[in-house]
Amino acid sequence: MTHLQRSFIPEDTEIKEDIANILKKYESHRGNLISILQDVQSNLGYLPRYALTEVACFLGIPDSEVYSTATFYNQFRFIPPGRHQIKVCLGTACQIKGGSMILQSWERELQLKEGQTSDDHEYSLERVACVGCCALAPVAVVDERVEGKVSPTRVKGILLGFDLQRKREHEKTSEKESGDAT
């Protein structure tokens, strides 16, 4: 398993430890369910199946209830997110300034549909309802950074930036490896 993959699919023991540490912070009270799920997601990036059953056990409620609550809310994710997370805003202001066109551009360039993560876990694409930056519409949130006035050309530009970054990283690691070899 390469380093990159490991950061997204932690081994079971790691998950178990993380979850046990999170649960320690809470009282076993039904009202804490959403806070616990938020905590797990902010630590692991998503809600693995194992975490859902652990949380159910901890709160003494059926797995189905945890799953039902978690799937109700848009924010919870059940597959690991990509290394680069792209959230396209489709609020009203973005919509009337061509937000759906921007979403289509991302979908086309990444060959993904909204809600999907690429097979190599490099990118995940989501739509969000409104990030409250309506003055800069159309907006996309790329890795926590709010990009304003996005155009189809800018979409290509952002992805090109990531490509270059990846290439540079790759060169560095291969240089290092060849350096180590000699």
Partner 1 sequence: MQPEAVKHRFEQLQKLANANWQSIEDGSKPQVLIGTDTAGRASGAIEVLEFFRQELATRNIDAVITEVGSTGYCYADPSVIITKPGFPPIYYGYVTQGIASRLISDFLQGNDPCFEFAIGALAENDIIPTIYEQPRFKYEKRVLLSRCGFVDPGDIDHYIANNGYFALFKTLQTDPQNIINEISLSGLRGLGGAGFPTGQKWQICRDSSGDTRYVICNADEGDPGAFMDRTILESDPHSVVEGMIIAACAVGAASGYIYVRAEYPLAVARMKSAVAQARDKGLLGNDILGSSFSFDIEVVQGSGAFVCGEETALIASLEGKRGWPRSRPPYPATAGVWGKPTIIDNVKTLAYVPYIIANGSAWFSSIGTPSSKGTAVFALAGKIVNTGLAEVPMGTTLRQIIYDVGGGIPHGKKFKAVQIGGPSGGCLPESMLDLPIDFDSLNEAGAIMGSGGMVILDEDNCMVDTARYFLDFTHSESCGKCTFCRLGTWQMLSLLEDITQGKGKPDDIQFLEELATDIKQGSLCGLGQSAPNPVLTTIRYFRDEYDAHILEKRCPAKVCAQLTAFYIDPGKCERSCDACVGTCPTEAIFNGKRGIKVIDQEECVKCGTCVDACPPQYRAVLKISPLSELPPSEPRPEPESKRDE
Integer angstrom CA distances of residue 133 from 74, 102, 120, 140: 20, 16, 31, 10
DSSP assigned state of 144: T
| Side-chain half-sphere CA neighbours of 24 within 13 A | 6
Q: Which of 5, 43, 64, 75 binds partner 1 (CB under 8 A)?
A: 75
Of residues 65 and 120, the one with the C-beta less far from partner 1: 65
Q: Which of 10, 18, 38, 162 binds partner 1 (CB under 8 A)?
A: 38
Q: What is the arrangement of strands in the sheet containing 140-142, beginning at the earlier edge strand?
A: 123-128, 84-89, 140-142, 145-147
Of residues 16 and 162, the one with the C-beta less far from partner 1: 162
**Residue 146 belongs to what H/E stretch?**
strand 145-147
Of residues 64 and 165, the one with the C-beta less far from partner 1: 64
Q: Which of 6, 12, 64, 148 binds partner 1 (CB under 8 A)?
A: 148
**Residue 19 belongs to what H/E stretch?**
helix 12-24
Spatial distance between the Cα atoms of 47 and 42, rounded to a whole number of angstroms:
9
Give yes or no for residue 139 binding partner 1 (CB under 8 A).
yes
**Shortest approach of partner 1 to residue 55 CB, angstroms?**
11
Is the distance from CB of 70 to CB of 108 less than 8 angstroms?
Answer: no
Q: Which of 25, 49, 113, 156 binds partner 1 (CB under 8 A)?
A: 156
Q: Which of 147, 150, 158, 159 binds partner 1 (CB under 8 A)?
A: 147
Question: Residues interacting with partner 1, by CB under 8 A?
Answer: 30-35, 37-38, 68-69, 72-76, 90-98, 100-101, 104-105, 108-109, 128-137, 139, 146-148, 151-153, 155-156
